[in-house]
Structure 1
Amino acid sequence: MKIEAMNWMQVEAYLQQDDRCVVPLGSTEQHGFMSLAVDNILPERLADEVAGPLGVPVFPTLNYGITPYFRAYPGSVTLRVQTYLSVVRDVLDSLYEQGFRRILIVNGHGGNSPAQGFAGEWSADHPGAQVLFHNWWNAPRTWQEVQRIDPVASHASWMENFPWTRLPGVTLPDTQKPMADLDRLRLLSPAQLRQTLGDGNYGGLYQRSDEDMLALWAVAVQETAGLLQHGWAPAVQDRSEPLT
């Protein structure tokens, strides 16, 4: 359940029985014709759908991420890598101090990848704790479903265009945009990237049917739920099970 629906006394009582929580990571950045908050909307919704039925707390999404390459697109906001990792460290330290030991990070933005390496380092420095860093969109089963539906898919294309990330009154192109050269894009300045990329879609159709999107979402929910329930190393004590 979302932490906004709990008070501190309820969290304290929860920690007597379980030590899991979920922290979504996102980014505020251009997504073509879709919301600038796509990378916040998706991990937060996914975390809530997965953790809610289990009564596991979901903390507020970190809505700003590492996205310097999109600075030429108005509305895109980036943090420096050092700043970002400091914030992630402080969040994890706070949760650990209070008794959380199994922390699932549901990440919605590829640019936040430095935090994945940091999560492993942090876990190594905190015996008895474990952080699972989950890039929901390219996790094995979810990415397999993307490929099954349409292998031409990338940032700001159909694969992020769910009913809850679309904007009312916005008409999308009905064409399939050729895939951008990702290696070349990485060499460009923000202004050059915007000039090259145009509307922000890296490649693929702009929208597919709701049937396709709900099928993809169902796989993502199931895969993420499996991690939250069964993805922990045996060495981490499972307080969600009755003690004997």
Structure 2
Amino acid sequence: MKISDMNWLQVEQYLKSDDRAVVPLGCTEQHAFLSLSVDSILAERVAVEAAEPLGVPVFPVVAYGITPSFMAYPGTVSLKAETYLRILTDMLDSLRSTGFRRILFVNGHGGNSPGQSAALEWMGRNTDCRVRFHNWWNAPRTFEKVKEIDPVASHASWMENFPWTRLAGIEQPDHQKPMVDLERMRSFGPEGVREMLGDGNFGGRYQRPDEDMNAIWSVALEETRALIETW
């Protein structure tokens, strides 16, 4: 259930019998012909659908993350790493102070990975709490399913092209884009990254049939739900 559909009295009642919470982490960055909010849309949706049968509240997605390499693409917003880590630890402090003790971050953006170290450090100072950091899209079972369907998958390619991340009236190219040299790309600043990537897809087909996407989504929900259940 979404925390936005609850009032504080209901949360207080919930905390009398449970101390779990889920916090989705996303980003606002270029995703080729898909929404700039792909990472936020997917992180929040998988969190909400995974937690719903368990009755665990899901907080609103943190829609901004660390993505300096894409700053040459209009619409991208990047936080400094220091700012981002402070946001996460401030959130954890707030959740703990109101009674939550088991928090799952459902992350949808690779650039947010420093948050995992911040969560570990925070737990060292708050030994009565448990925090998990879950990269839903490349968790073992989910990523195995992606590779089973099509091993050429990457940022802004078919693997992020769900019905809920597409834009109305925007057609996807119908070909497989060659994979970019990731190591070389990481040696460039934002303008160089844009020159290498062009439309923003790292490589792979732009879209696959919805039955393939539904198969991935089912595994992602099961894998995420299992983490919420097994503390």
2:120 and 2:144 map into 1 onto residues whose CA distance is 25
Q: In structure 2, what is the equivalent of residue 119 of structure 1?
A: 119
Q: Which amino acid aligns with 1:52?
A: E
- Counterparts of 2:184 and 2:116, CA distance in 1: 24
Gaps of 5+ in 1: 233-244
Equivalent position of 1:130 in the other structure: 130
Percent sequence identity is: 64
Q: Tell me the amino acid that sits aligned with residue 195 of structure 2.
A: Q
1:117 positional shift: 1.1
What corresponds to 1:235 in structure 2? none
Q: Alpha-carbon deviations, 1:165-216, whole Å to 9, x = none?
A: 0011111111101111111111101011001100000010000000000000
Aligned-pair distance for 1:50? 0.9
SS in 2 for 1:137: helix
CA offsets, 1:79-103, max 9 Å, x none? 0000000000100000011110110
Matches within 5 A, 1:218-237: 218-230=218-230, 232=231
- Give the match for residue 176 of structure 1: 176
2:4: which partner in 1? 4
| Alignment partners' CA distance in 2, 1:125 and 1:143 | 33
The residue identity in structure 1 corresponding to 2:226 is G
3-state SS in 1 of match to 2:12: helix
Equivalent position SS for 1:223: helix
Is 1:144 the counterpart of 2:144? The answer is: yes
Q: Helix, strand or coil for the counterpart of 1:63? A: coil
Alignment of 1:9-158 (within 5 A): 9-158=9-158
The residue type equivalent to 2:148 in the other structure is R
* Map of 2:198 onto structure 1: 198
What letter is aligned with 2:137?
W
Q: RMSD of the alignment, in Å?
A: 0.6
Structure 2 equivalent of residue 242 of structure 1: none
Specify the SS of the correspondent of 2:188. coil
In the aligned structure 2, how far is the partner of 1:151 from the partner of 1:124? 38
1:122: how far off?
A: 1.1
Q: Could you list the runs of 5+ residues in structure 2 that have no partner in the other structure?
A: none
Deviation string 1:67-89 (CA, Å, 9 cap, x unpaired) is 00000000000000000000001
Tell me the alpha carbon deviations over residues 22-78 of structure 1, each in whole angstroms, 9 at most, x when there is no partner.
000000000000000000000100011011121111001000000000000000000
Q: Which moved more, 1:122-131 or 1:59-68?
A: 122-131
TM, length-normalised to structure 1: 0.94
- Aligned: 1:208 with 2:219: no
- Worse overlay, 32-41 or 47-56: 47-56
CA deviation profile, 1:93-116 (whole Å, cap 9, x unmatched):
000111101100000000001001
Q: Secondary structure at the match of 2:174?
A: coil
What CA distance in whole angstroms lies between the structure 2 residues aligned with 1:193 and 1:67? 12
TM-score, structure 2 length as denominator? 0.99
Using the alignment, how far apart are the partners of 2:114 and 2:183 within structure 1?
18
Give the Cα–Cα distance (whole angstroms) in 2 for the partners of residues 117 and 151 of structure 1. 29
Query: How many Å separate the matches in 1 of 2:197 and 2:189?
Result: 12
Extract structure 1 runs of 4+ deviating beyond 4 A: none
Amino acid at match of 1:53: P
For the residue of structure 1 that corresponds to 2:64, the secondary structure is coil
Instruction: Tell me by how many angstroms 1:118 deviates.
Output: 1.0
Of 100-109 and 116-125, the range deviating more from structure 2:
116-125
